[in-house]
């Protein structure tokens, strides 16, 4: 029996034992309310306010604000405690800084990571398979010369990596996204960089991990407008989920209905797109409409615990109908179910602020689903859906908000915004623009 078939049977048999699929019902009311306590911390960025908010066990009453962006929460020094790495503004010295984990939370002061140019797209993975977490980000080597800087772990408490490396992207601009995953099943993380520049996008690039670390040359993949990684077909190899770019023209993304594709992992890495999903796919809620931006944000994680990762698809341009009118760009999120057959529309559900149980009310321009994340914040091995709407007007225009939907379910959903954290003057904070990875 092949490895793929073994995983497929496991995925299918576990799925048969689960309860019925989630049913996300319409209608809701009331303004977003603060989240109650959760087993794990939630990390939320507010780029307009230049801060990262750490909600201890998801409790707004126990939060801490730190300068930075693009948070990564991993054990970087191998002591068994989660550390928080953030990208810093140039005003704060640039590069990446680490708040070391302690038994009582994160350290008061950060430590700069030394010896590697880490300026944008910070991501983590074990690229050489030695059991230690490595960091990667893009940074300028010179005018029009962008490199990927790699800081191999474990990091020392003075910020020194075990070693560093630089990879030449051949691009003049930093990647729009960097994701990691084991796309060839060799037990080492690989890296894919997204290059969706203005006008004509460039192909994504695959950098393969090895015992020596990431290779110095890359292989071209499909042009993407967003991406995420995870094992959606349960075969033990990560797959790459992307938003397709119509005709390779990135400038058309704002007007496109949106298409999600899956490049399935294999012994040679991700191949050509195989599964293609839109809102016109059978079983997927909604219909294709120009400007929906289906797939503007993507996240992969196992919501139902069947061994196949599911895919959260942000649809921030979705117009919702109410009282005979349209709420333009109110936004929604579609949850696609992974299976041994791969990604299909079967069992898909949708949620927005008018869904019963979800705090808040949909309004034009909210952009609910601009950012999505699937994370195990309940500590039970199943992921919950975290949604960002940085355009949400709570106590000020574009102050932003974030929601947590346990296991993707609207019942028990929680929300938090800057006002819940005691902040004032939140106009343009865009809280919920990113989450810890």
Look up the CATH number of domain 278-436. 2.130.10.130
B/e letters for 52-90, b = 16+ CB within 10 Å, e = fewer, are bbbbbebbbeebbebebbbbbbbbbbeeeeebbbbbbee
**DSSP H helices in 53-171:** none
CA distance 207 to 123: 13
Q: Left, alpha or beta for 291 (phi > 0: left; psi -120 to 50: alpha)?
A: left
Q: What is the pLDDT of residue 94?
A: 83
Confirm if 33 and 322 have CB atoms less than 8 A apart: no
Task: Identify the pLDDT of residue 59.
Answer: 65
User: Rounded distance, CA 76 to CA 84, Å?
Assistant: 9
- pLDDT for res 103: 87
Q: Which residues pair with 135 in a beta bridge?
A: 124, 151
Task: List Cα–Cα distances, 92 to 120, 175, 232, 327, 431, in angstroms.
Answer: 14, 22, 39, 40, 20
Write down the domain spans for the chain: 278-436
Mapped onto helix, strand or coil, the DSSP state of residue 395 is: coil
pTM for this prediction: 0.90
Alpha carbons 30 and 73: distance in angstroms, whole number: 33
Print pLDDT tens along the chain (437 aa). Answer: 334 444 444 465 444 433 333 222 233 333 444 444 444 678 999 999 889 998 876 666 677 889 989 999 999 999 999 999 999 887 777 899 999 999 888 999 999 999 888 889 999 999 999 999 999 999 887 777 889 999 999 999 999 999 999 999 988 888 999 999 999 999 999 999 998 776 678 999 999 999 999 999 999 999 999 999 999 999 999 999 999 998 777 777 788 999 999 999 999 999 888 999 999 999 999 999 999 999 999 999 999 999 999 999 999 999 998 877 889 999 999 999 999 999 999 999 999 999 999 999 999 999 999 999 999 887 888 999 999 999 999 889 999 999 999 988 898 899 999 998 888 888 999 999 999 88
Q: Kindly state the helix (H) or strand (E) to which residue 152 belongs, with its residue range.
A: strand 145-152
In degrees, rounded to 5, the angle at the alpha carbon of residue 88 between the alpha carbons of residues 85 and 94 is: 120
**DSSP character at residue 205:** E
Q: Which stretch of DSSP H or E encloses residue 102?
A: strand 101-102
Structure tokens at 133: 């977490």
């Amino acid at each position: 029996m092949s490895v793929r078939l073994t995983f497929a049977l496991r995925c299918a048999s576990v799925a048969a034992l689960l309860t019925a699929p989630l049913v996300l019902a319409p209608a809701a009311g009331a303004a977003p309310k603060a989240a109650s306590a959760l087993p794990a911390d939630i990390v939320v960025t507010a780029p307009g306010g230049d801060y990262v908010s750490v909600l201890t066990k998801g409790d707004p009453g126990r939060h801490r604000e730190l300068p930075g962006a693009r948070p990564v929460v991993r054990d970087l020094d191998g002591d068994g405690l989660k550390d928080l790495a953030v990208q810093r503004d140039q005003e704060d010295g640039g590069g990446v800084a680490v708040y070391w984990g302690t038994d009582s939370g994160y350290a008061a002061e950060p430590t700069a990571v030394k010896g590697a140019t880490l300026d944008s797209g910070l991501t983590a993975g074990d690229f050489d398979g030695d059991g230690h977490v490595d960091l990667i980000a893009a940074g300028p080597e010179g005018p029009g010369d962008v490199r990927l800087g790699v800081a191999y772990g474990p990091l020392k408490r003075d910020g020194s990596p075990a070693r560093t490396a630089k990879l030449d992207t051949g691009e003049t601009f930093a990647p729009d996204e960097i994701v990691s995953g084991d796309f060839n099943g060799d037990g080492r993380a690989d890296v894919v960089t997204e290059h969706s520049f203005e006008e004509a996008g460039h192909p994504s690039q695959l950098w393969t991990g090895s015992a020596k670390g990431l290779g110095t040359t890359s292989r071209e993949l499909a042009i993407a407008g967003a991406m995420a990684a995870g094992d959606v077909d349960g075969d033990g190899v990560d797959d790459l989920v992307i938003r397709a770019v119509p005709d390779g023209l990135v400038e058309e993304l704002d007007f496109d209905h949106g298409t999600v594709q899956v490049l399935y992992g294999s012994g040679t890495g991700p191949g050509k797109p195989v599964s293609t999903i839109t809102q016109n796919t059978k079983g997927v809620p909604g219909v294709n409409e120009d400007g929906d931006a289906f797939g503007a944000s993507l996240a992969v994680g196992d919501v139902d615990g069947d061994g196949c990762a599911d895919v959260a698809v942000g649809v921030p341009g979705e117009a919702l109908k109410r009282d005979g009118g349209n709420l333009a760009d109110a936004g929604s999120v579609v949850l696609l179910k992974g299976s041994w057959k791969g990604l299909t529309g079967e069992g898909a559900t949708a949620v927005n602020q008018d869904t019963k149980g979800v705090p808040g009310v949909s309004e034009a321009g909210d952009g609910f689903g601009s950012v999505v994340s699937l994370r195990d914040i309940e500590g039970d091995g199943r992921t919950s859906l975290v949604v960002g709407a940085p355009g949400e007007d709570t106590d000020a225009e574009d102050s932003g908000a974030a929601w947590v939907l346990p296991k993707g379910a609207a019942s028990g959903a929680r929300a938090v915004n800057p006002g819940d954290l005691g902040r004032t003057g939140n106009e343009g904070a865009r809280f919920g623009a990113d989450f810890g990875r």
